[in-house]
């Protein structure tokens, strides 16, 4: 079966494109109306006969043009020179999920592996990025300890402030040593105050007291152990104390089974979206994909840098495909030798070995 996606201004125009491209026997798999556009996914069992014409010989470009193009498209050329299974295997994705992704990607007629992978991810995963311009319900960031909830709170606050939104930043993490001080340090740089709500009963007045109609509320919480029923019960009291949207924060590089169990626990508390953090210090994202696929969680954003100014980046199927096919050089650090035979060598010399297998 061959799948193709068509986009037009109206359903009539989209169906006309389907018939013209796939013929009258085409089957409509799905249709979606969004942002004034109609998107139709169609399929057919047998590919239509295409007219074959002798390709025209392309003119030979100038040498300078070739060099510039190779430099600009180096990453894309590398991605398309490798089979998609190479990248999915690098991330340690489970065989059954890898098979589904590869099978879906193979059904699309796309120019390049990245675009085919993006089409597959768009069908298999959900993407619902945070939008500070229109977010109405308070956002409550939840997750295990150490995944970067406080930094994520600061990043979202920074983005909202820079976009002109009034932000109310609330902290329920008053137990962890330095938790409040860390958030207040970020808030001071943005010239906003932090409101503390140590108990669930304090959350409502913290949100509604003198609240402006267009004010964005961001709530940072303590890191709760997802495998401790008492701690999860306490978090549940905070979530149900007000009509908030709990958003899970998960760090990249996590074990597949552990990521799945954590996602399942938080999903039972009403979580429907998650933010993936620390993608800059992790080389494998199988845990994130496994959690999203098995628990049907939507990608709400990603953190690829520790700096607040860069914030939480929006993510869609194409940007996720690019992340999965971007394999960084791995540098192996070997400290200077302390052997007596090498004492005459420069003590500042260090040996850095490139991992050629993953080199772009």
Residues 84-116: pLDDT tens digits? 999 999 999 999 999 999 999 998 877 678 999
For tokens 């009403």, name the residue: 270
CB within 8 Å of 90: residues ≥ 6 apart: 283, 284, 327, 358
The answer to whether residue 346 scores a pLDDT higher than 80 is no
pLDDT score at 74: 37
DSSP state of 270: T
For tokens 């619902």, name the residue: 128
* Bridge partners, 78 (sequence order): none
- Choose the weakest-confidence range: 131-140, 174-183, 211-220, 286-295: 174-183
Count of CB atoms situated within 10 Å of the CB of 244: 20
Q: pLDDT tens across 67-81, in order? A: 333 333 334 444 555
141 or 159: whose pLDDT is higher?
A: 141
pLDDT score at 217: 95
Q: pLDDT tens across 255-310, in order? A: 999 999 999 999 999 999 999 999 988 999 999 999 999 999 999 999 988 777 77
Q: pLDDT tens across 35-85, in order? A: 778 777 676 654 443 344 454 555 454 443 333 333 333 344 445 557 899
- Which is it for the CA torsion 250, 253, 254, 260, positive or negative? positive
Comparing CA positions, the residue from 198, 47, 183 lying closest to residue 108 is 47
Comparing CA positions, the residue from 70, 90, 133 lying closest to residue 289 is 90
Average pLDDT (127-144) is 86
pLDDT score at 176: 66
């Amino acid at each position: 079966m061959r799948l193709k996606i068509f986009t037009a201004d109206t359903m009539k125009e989209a169906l006309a494109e389907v018939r013209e491209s796939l013929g009258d026997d085409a089957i409509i798999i799905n249709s979606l109306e969004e942002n004034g556009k109609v998107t139709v996914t169609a399929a057919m069992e047998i590919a239509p006969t295409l007219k074959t014409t002798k390709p025209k010989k392309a003119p030979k470009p100038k040498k300078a043009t070739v060099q510039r193009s190779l430099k600009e498209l180096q990453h894309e050329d590398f991605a398309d020179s490798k089979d998609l299974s190479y990248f999915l295997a690098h991330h340690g994705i489970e065989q059954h999920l890898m098979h589904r992704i590869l099978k879906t990607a193979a059904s699309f007629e796309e120019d390049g592996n990245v675009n085919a992978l993006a089409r597959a991810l768009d069908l298999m995963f959900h993407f619902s990025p945070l939008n500070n311009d229109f977010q109405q319900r308070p956002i409550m960031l939840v997750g295990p300890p150490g995944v970067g909830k406080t930094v994520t709170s600061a990043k979202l606050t920074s983005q909202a402030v820079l976009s002109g939104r009034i932000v109310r930043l609330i902290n329920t993490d008053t137990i962890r040593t330095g938790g409040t001080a860390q958030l207040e340090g970020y808030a001071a740089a943005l010239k906003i105050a932090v409101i503390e709500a140590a108990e669930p009963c304090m959350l409502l007045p913290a949100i509604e007291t003198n609240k402006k109609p267009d004010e964005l509320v961001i709530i940072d919480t303590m890191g709760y152990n997802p495998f401790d029923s008492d701690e999860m019960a306490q978090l549940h009291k905070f979530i149900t104390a007000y009509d908030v949207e709990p958003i899970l924060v998960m760090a990249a590089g996590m074990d597949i089974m552990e990521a799945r169990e954590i996602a399942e626990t938080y999903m039972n508390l009403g979580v429907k979206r998650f933010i993936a953090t620390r993608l800059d210090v992790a080389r494998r994202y199988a845990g994130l994909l496994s959690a999203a696929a098995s628990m049907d969680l939507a990608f709400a954003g990603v953190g690829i840098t520790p700096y607040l100014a860069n914030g939480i980046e929006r993510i869609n199927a194409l940007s996720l495909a690019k992340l999965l096919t971007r394999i960084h050089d791995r540098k192996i650090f070997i400290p200077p030798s302390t052997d007596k035979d090498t004492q005459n060598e420069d003590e500042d010399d260090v040996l850095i070995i490139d991992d050629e297998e993953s080199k772009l």
